[in-house]
Structure formats: C-alpha cells, structure tokens
Structure 1
Amino acid sequence: MAFDTRALYVCKLNVLFIFALFAAVECLSKGFRSHARDDGSREAVFEEHWFTQKLDHFNGAESRVWKQRYFLNEAFYKPGGPVFLMIGGEGPANPAWMKNGTWLTYADKLGALCLMLEHRFYGKSHPTADLSTNNLRFLSSRQALADLAHFRTVMGEARGLTNNKWVAFGGSYPGSLAAWFRLKYPHLVHASVATSAPLHATVNFPEYLEVVWRSLASENAQCPLLVKKASDSLVEKLKDPETFGNITKDFNLCSKLQIQTEMDSAYLLEMLAGNFMDVVQYNEDNREFEGVQGGNITIKVLCDVMSDPSLGDPYARYGAVARLLMDTFSLKCLDASFSNYLRDMTNTSWEGPAAGGGRQWVYQTCTEFGFYQSTDSPNQPFTGFPLDYQLKQCADFYNVSAEQVAQAVAQTNEYYGGYNVKSSRIVFPNGSIDPWHALGITQDITAELPAVFIKGTAHCANMYPARSQDLPQLSLARDHVLLLLQQWLKN
C-alpha cells in the first residue's frame, strides 16, 4: 500500500508500481461481479468507476474538471452501516485491496460499504495533459484532501449515504491523508485509521537510516557494522577511477561506471543502500496479493549474506546482496547512471518511464514534505548521499530551490500541525521496524487519538491480510483497531 520517497524508481519500478490488474467487465450495481476460475471456484473482479472531479478546488474561477478513478465493494454493506474509504497514494490504486486486507475484515464485521479513491496524478487519474512542472502545481495533499471531500459529498448524496458514518483508511502517505482528512473535514469523516503515517514534514530525515541500523541490528548485531564497512569500502574505491571497471563488474552495472560529478557517485551509493532500506521498510509484510515480488527477501536474508565469510570481504558481500536483489526482480543489470535518471525524471509525458509515480512523488517531496533520507547522521550504516544531493534534484527536476523546499515544508507543518494533532477518533498504528515511525505518532496523544506501536513489524503491517505466522502483537493490534472502530461508530 505504501511507498518510500525514492519511489523505488532506481529499481526500475519493479516493486512500487507493480500492481494486480483485474479484467474489465460490465458494470454491476455492486461494483463487482464474480467469474469462474479454472478450478471451478469463483472470484470477484472489481470494476473501474469514474468520478467527475474539479481540477482546482481553491479557485472558483477555474471550471476545468477531470475523471478520477475509484473502486467499490458493497458485498459487506448493511443498510445504515458505515462507509469505509481507502485513500490512494503515490502509485496506482490497486483493486486487489478490494478483496484483500484487514479493512475488509472490519467491513465484514461492521457491515460497511467499501470505496477506494485513486490519488490525483497517479495511476489512471490524470487531471492534466502531461506532467509538466506547470501542471504539477495542481498536485498537492491539500488538493487531494479536497478531492476526498468532494467525492464524499457527491457520493453521499448520490447513494443515500450522507448520514452514514464515514471512516478513512490509509497507509504511509495515504495514512497521513487519512489523519488530515479527519482533521480538516471533521464534518465529513467520522473516524480515521492512519497507519504508518508520517505526520511531521522535515527537509532532512537522517533518522530513517538510523532506524535501518537498529532494525538490521535487531536481527544480527554485527550486520549494520558489516554494511557500514562495505559502504565505506565502496566510497574509497570511488575515489580511484582505476577501480571503476571492477565496480562495474562487482555490481553488474549496465554500462561502465562514470563518475563526473558528486551526483553520479551519490546516485550509485543511494541505489545500493536502497537494497537494505527497502527490505527493512517492508520486512516480512504480507504483500504478495498486491503483485509485489521479493517478499522472501527479509532482513534475515540480507544479514545472512553480509555475515557469510565464504563470499569474501564485506564489500564483496555487498555486491552479492545487489546481485540477489537483481535476480529477485529479474533485472539483467543495474542502471547506475544519474544522467539517465535525470533524463527519465524530466520526461513530462504520461508515457514516460517515471510517470508511474516517480516524477509526481518527488515533486511532492520538493513542494510539501521533504522526507529526504540522507546520510547526514553518524548513527547509520551508509555514506555518500547527503541532503545537498537530494535538494539538487528538486532544482534539476522542477527548478525548485533549497530555500523553497524549506519554506514549503514549514508551511506543511503550519497547515497540518505536524506531531501536534488536534482532533479526535484517529488511531495511529506504527511498526517498530519501519523507519517511517520516526515521523509518526507512537504514543497516545489523548484517549481519542491513540497510538498502536507494534514491536517487530514493518511498514503498514497491520493493513495486510492476516496469516498464521503473524506475530501475536500484530494480531492484537488489528483486534485493538477493530474495538476502537466499534466504539467510535456507536458515538
């Protein structure tokens, strides 16, 4: 459900923007129909629905509209029951969530109608002709919240659901939106489940990699030390052009390594660190139903590789991790060229290689959130991609200066309040393994703004379908959220 700020574009979008596609069939009143499988059983196939949305909610003189995609499941609905609204985020809305996930367990128990609304500028929800920076000015969390408000108002009237109690769900950035929807539109949404939600915007977010260190150490105390030795060795090798041929082979790069600027070396170093960052963030989360590959690659797997002396020194093991991830995602080689990345990220076509979400999300980080996972802390295992490298991308991609990023982040915290949430009936689940919990709510604010901090779990773990190997505290967390919803829906 959730995505990190690098958008995993550096891995050719193999993880973040893979999603299950369901065949389009004639639209039924319940939003889905069943069809026979080869084994004779039947499964639901969810339809795309389209909602006429305003382009700019904050300019009355702007009359343009566009079509926003949504999905519907009425299978659990009982008249007068609540309406669950799953909020889309920085990638295509995945219809697999219409038949999987903890929220559907809640819907079954509470008699809820389920809707999922795709975020503007992601998936098939295209408000503008292209992704030019001029058009991206219509991409913001504030416009997305206004989309949710307008959708809720119109759908409520059209389906006789105006007086039903609406509950917002979201994980990661959509978790933030779920909290902010309740905060900014309390007359429209009765309660929210804001999972793994980063609520405090910050330009520099070195704490992300600090949590990565601790999460690796929770598996093997030596693991982050070995990763640091490997990363430091690579940094030293990058100082000598004579080593570039060997580095190219060691990490199976698509073309011979060329380091002409600090951006080139930082891009390579961030890409290789990303192998660990991404595995930690989603460690052992039950995401296979989304069509995501690599669920078998866990912190334990990476630390076992890094601890294996038969593979050579820590630097050699670092290369082995990179090759393991490439094999997992069927990548023939690793494109470590920052110039190629710059070319793709500045392609403004909806058919461009970064249009799956990379260009859009990085724009949002430059104009609202920051969240830059830099190596500017000594208490983390990597080297070589400092804040300046992240900020220069804002200038290169969108002509947004570092000063403008800082101003935008300050405005975001001023508008939403950061950690200082003043609302009610919002629950904040987070996992201790997940680096994003450092920007979330991990302790109760009030009795009506409770935190659910789940030790040993990663990003959005409580949202995914339950399974027998779930930690007991994860199962208890899901049950606790249900009890809160039951209580709040009585009020």
Structure 2
Amino acid sequence: MRTFLTLCGVLALIGASYAFKSQKYQKPTDHVTSDWIYNGTFRTRVDHFRAQDGRFVDFVYHANLNFTGDEGPVYIYLKDAGDYTTRWIESGLMVDIARQNNGSLFTFDYRFFGTNRPTDNATFENLQFLTTEQILADLAQFVSYVKLFHDVYGGNTIVYGAGYGGTLATWARKKFPHLIDAAWSSSGIYELTVASLSVYDSLSYSIYRTRGADCRNLIQEAFEEAERLIIADDADELQELFNLCNPINTTSPNDVSSFFQNYFDLLVLYIQQQHADGVHDMCDDLEESTLPPLEAFAEFVRFALVGEECFDATYDNIIAERSNTSWNQPGTLSGSKQKSHYLKILKDVKNILGRQWHYIQCTQAGLFQVTDQWTWLPNHAELGYQAQVCINVLGPNYVFDFIRAALETLRNQYGSLYLRSSRTIFTYGEIDPKMYNGITYTDDPESVAISIPGHGRASDMSSIQATDSAELQAVKERIIELVGNFSVPFRP
C-alpha cells in the first residue's frame, strides 16, 4: 500500500530541563548470559552438501534444563539477526510454557555468527558456506544431537523465533517434519524478492493509523529540508545537526544515500520496537516542539536515540568496515558486546549490518528496502545503491544478478508469501512496517495467523504482563494454548 504523507517520531529539546518522552523507551542494557545456563558443543559439517569435504567443526550451544521432565518437549529458539544472547531461553513466553510442560530450552548462534565460526576468516570464498540451507542443516544436526545427548527422545520438538529466526523456524518445520513437530514464527519475513518498496511506505501508514497525518507530515518536512541542505551543499549544517563524525559529501550519490537510509531504518526499527505507545510519545514530543521540523528531528535522533557519540554515516566507512575479512574486526564482530558509535536503539542492528549478514542479503535473502520517485521519503535508497554496496563489500568475484536465481530457488522450496506449513503459528504486529513482507493469512487447517493491534515487532515473545493490552494478552494466551497442544506427542 502506497502512501504519500509522512511518518512521525521525533522530538525537540526545549531547554536543558526538557525531557524527551521517548527516552523512557530506550533499549535496555546489553543482556548477559546467566551463570545457570548450560553451555555445550555439538559437531556439524562445514559443508553439509558435499561429501568430499570431510571437515567438521564444533559449535557452541546453550540450554535451560531447569524444567526438563520425562517425555517433556524440546523447545529450540532460532535467533533473530542481531540477537546473540540467551534471553529467550531464560525468560519470556516460551520459558513459561516450558515450565508448564516440563520442557527443555535450547539455542545456538548460526554459523559465522557469534563464536560459531567454521572458517579462519570471512573471505568471499569462505562465506559460500553461509546459506539458509547450511544453517537449516546445522539445525537438523543439532536436533538429532539434543535428542541423543540430552536423552529427550520422548517429547515433541518445537522451534520458535522472531524475525529471521521466525522465518527459519517455519522453513525448518516444512523441510524436516520428521524432526520438528511444530513452529512458532513471530514477525517472520517470507517475501522472497530482490527489493521491497512496502517497508518505507508502510512506515508512513504505521504512523498515520496510530497517530494521524500531522506527525507524519512533520517527518516528511524534516527529510525534505535535509534534502534541500544537500542540494545547497550545506554539509556543515547537517554535520552539526546530526552530530556526524565526518561531513557527508553532498556531491556523492552514495554518501547521500548512506546518510538518508541510516535514518529511514532508524525510524523503522524504532516503531518495530516501541509499538503504538512509542509512536505517540515521539509524536507528542515532535508536535510540542517549537523548533523547525528538521531541527526537532535531529534533536530526537541525537538526544533520544544516538547519545553523545558522533555517528559516521559516510559511504566509505560502511564499505571499509564490512570489507575487512578478519575476525574480531568491527565489520565481522557480530554477536559481541563491543561499544559502537552506532545508534543506541539500533545497538543490535550494528551486528546485523556486519559483513556476514550483508553476505546473506546480497547472495540469497534479498528484500532490500528501497525507495522510488513515488515514495513519501526522499528517493535516495534505490536498488542501484544497494547493488553497489554489495559489489563494493564483497569484491570483484561477486555478481549482483545471481541473487535472482538464488531467490527463485528459495521460492520453489518454500513458496514465499504463499508458504504452507502445518502446525505453525504466525503472529505479527499490525503497525510493523515489515508486516506485509510476512504471512498474515494461512489456509492450512493445522496452522493459524494472528494479528496484534497497536504493536510492532515480536511483542508476543515476552511473558504475560500487567501492562499488556487486552489484545496482546489474548494473543499470548492463544500461543500458550497452541504450543501446549503441539507439545503433546501423538499416540496412535
């Protein structure tokens, strides 16, 4: 759905004592794995699909075995891109379900992420082993290992996850029904296409349906004013307003695109994480500000989301960081808790945008978020820009057009938005800008798709809380019921 007005989400600092309403929604501090979580290793192949490659590697996994009972179910959390913690096997709705059903909880980092690195470095040649098929094969190997080593043969196995992890959970259920008995996908992404216009357009709609046109229009005006400064070659003003580490080159299309897309994505992530309450707070702050729209928006970014450190939005910085193939460098340090100059609210996204995730997107996942001349945002995130980033990061042996063939293969395997997967729960938030990249309807009689009004992304992963809306609580209760039913082994 194409809309032409604007988004909201900003504030202004009116004097030193003024407090942003949005600041109370800042992301919590980094999660630290609890001492009582069991850490183990399982062995898997470097290349599952070429018998001549006899290399094996040990991957680290984590387990919460506090509720394990006889013939209890096995619940495996498949992590979202950017999530390298054990938070969702320590607490949350599935932990509550495990406590109720005597279940065991497990999770592990995908190959090439966190500490699970099957090769000596992240060269383009080595990253060939980073594919959806290889990750799912690791999961199949892990399920077999867990059943044997942890002696939990009697119970059903259910996989769950949010975002990318939710997608993998559903695909795993479809691909390995003999190993995986059910799946829950929260805000999974299933549209298999090179690029999508719907994310930035739905961003506008998310604000409009939550708050109305005024706030959305203020955001549009802010971006339009930023574009006028670009045209006027006033890089110094933009640098001061947004506390940029380096001025952008206003005559470089790549620098301009890098600048704009960073802030487009910031707004997408903010709404996904903060839901309707966050939208209202952002809009209150923006509409109550006495500053012009661009200055108010810049204040919001600097004081509510970025913090005191400067932000390097230059294209050369992105390319240099993601082109380094050595481990433990900023571009390959996915999953660590390094301090970053990136946006506070996008702390995990810093990891998503590392070299490994960029390889997945450029070679197989696609779904680049793009603009065109009809998008309500300035048209500076075109597909040509996304392709250039892939080429510059991955090197001369990379061919962008090959991604179309890879996506066709995935579509043939999984059906894109027409995927059918039995015994699967699809949940999504109705103001998530990526909602229309996911599955919002299923005609499979054993599956269900559930919407959550007023929420963005993965709001149903946490335990039932007193602050939950009635709609959110009802969805969580329905998930508890469905997962409980899927957890019971079939007895002929």
TM-score band, normalised by shorter chain: 0.7 to 0.9
Query: Hey, what's the Cα distance between the residues in 2 that align with 1:98 and 1:424?
Result: 24
Indicate yes or no: 2:281 matched with 1:304.
Answer: no
| Long gaps (5+) in structure 1 | 1-14, 25-31, 33-45, 286-296
**Secondary structure of the residue that 2:58 maps to in structure 1?**
strand
SS for the counterpart of 1:238 is helix
Which residue is equivalent to 1:8?
none
Matched residues in 2 for 1:201 and 1:114: separation? 30
Distance of 2:57 and 2:372 partners within structure 1: 42
Say which SS state the counterpart of residue 121 (structure 1) adopts: coil
Deviation, 1:53, is 1.6
CA positional deviation for 1:332 = 1.7
Q: Does 1:359 align with 2:370?
A: no
SS in 2 for 1:72: strand
The aligned runs of 1:326-337 (5 Å cut-off) are: 328-337=305-314
- Match among 418, 432, 435 for residue 433 of structure 2: 435
Amino acid in the other structure paired with 2:436: A
Q: After superposition, what is the alpha-carbon deviation per residue over 1:371-403, rounded to whole angstroms, capped at 9, x for unaligned?
A: 211122735444321121112111111143331
- 1:57 match: 48
Q: Does 1:90 align with 2:73?
A: no
Write the letter of the residue equivalent to 1:341. I
Distance 1:236 1:134 in 2: 43
CA distance in 2, matches of 1:382, 1:305: 23
Matched, 1:74 2:93: no
Residue identity matched to 1:334? F
Give the drift of 1:58: 0.6
Structure-2 separation of matches of 1:366 and 1:478: 35
Match of 1:391 in 2: 387
1:110/1:486 contact within 8 Å kept: yes
Structure 1 counterpart SS, 2:419 = coil
Deviation at residue 321 of structure 1 after TM alignment: 2.0
Work out the CA distance in 2 between the residues paired with 1:258 and 1:16: 31
1:483 maps to which residue?
Answer: 481
| Deviation for aligned residue 1:92 | 5.0
Deviates more, 1:402-411 or 1:457-466: 402-411
1:72–1:98 contact (8 Å) kept in structure 2: yes
Partner of 2:300: 321
- Judging changes above 3 Å, is the alpha-carbon distance between structure 1 residues 375 and 305 closer, same or farther for their aligned structure 2 residues? farther
Percent identity for Structure 1 against Structure 2: 24
- Report the Cα distance in structure 2 between the residues aligned to 1:106 and 1:330, rounded to whole angstroms: 38
Q: 1:410-429 to 2 correspondence within 5 Å?
A: 410-429=408-427
Aligned counterparts of 2:39 and 2:306: Cα–Cα separation in 1: 28
Range with greater deviation from structure 2 (382-391 or 182-191): 382-391
Instruction: Give the alignment's TM-score, normalised by structure 2.
Output: 0.85
Distance 2:145 2:407 in 1: 32
Cα 1:299/1:381, change in 2 over 3 Å = farther
TM-score, with structure 1 as normaliser: 0.85
1:81-120 map, 5 Å: 81-91=72-82, 93-120=84-111
Aligned equivalent of 2:211, options 182, 205, 219: 219
**Greater relative contact order (CA < 8 Å, ≥ 6 in sequence):** 2
Distance 1:379 1:363 in 2: 27
Distance 2:448 2:34 in 1: 40
Q: Contact 1:92–1:123 at 8 Å: present in 2 too? A: no
Which residue among 337, 341, 344 is the counterpart of 2:321?
344
Cα offset, 1:60, TM superposition: 0.9
1:323 partner letter: R
* Cα distance in 2, alignment partners of residues 185 and 439 from structure 1: 24
Is 1:235–2:246 an aligned residue pair?
Answer: no
Q: Tell me whether 1:146 sits opposite 2:125 in the alignment.
A: no
Count of residues paired in the alignment: 442
SS in 1 for 2:416: coil
Separation of aligned partners in 2, 1:266 and 1:249 = 19
Distance 1:478 1:157, change over 3 A: same
1:89, distance to aligned residue in structure 2 (A): 3.6
Please show how residues 236-255 of structure 1 align to structure 2 within 5 Å.
Answer: 236-241=228-233, 243-255=234-246
Contact preservation (8 Å) 2:275, 2:431: no
CA separation of 1:331 and 1:131: change in aligned 2, threshold 3 A: farther
Compared CA separation, residues 346 and 277, structure 1 to 2 (3 A): same
For the aligned residue pairs, the C-alpha RMSD in angstroms reads 2.1
- Does the CA-based 8 Å contact 2:93-2:476 persist in structure 1? yes
Query: Within 1, Cα distance between the matches of 2:443 and 2:392?
Result: 40
Any gaps of 5 or more consecutive residues in structure 2? 1-25, 335-350
C-alpha distance in structure 1 between counterparts of 2:61 and 2:464, whole Å: 25
Q: 2 CA distance for matches of 1:186 and 1:392?
A: 39
Look up the equivalent residue of 2:418 and give its one-letter code. N
Q: 1:416 & 1:479 partners in 2: Cα distance? A: 29
Partner SS state of residue 81, structure 1: coil
- Cα deviation for residue 305 of structure 1 reads 3.4
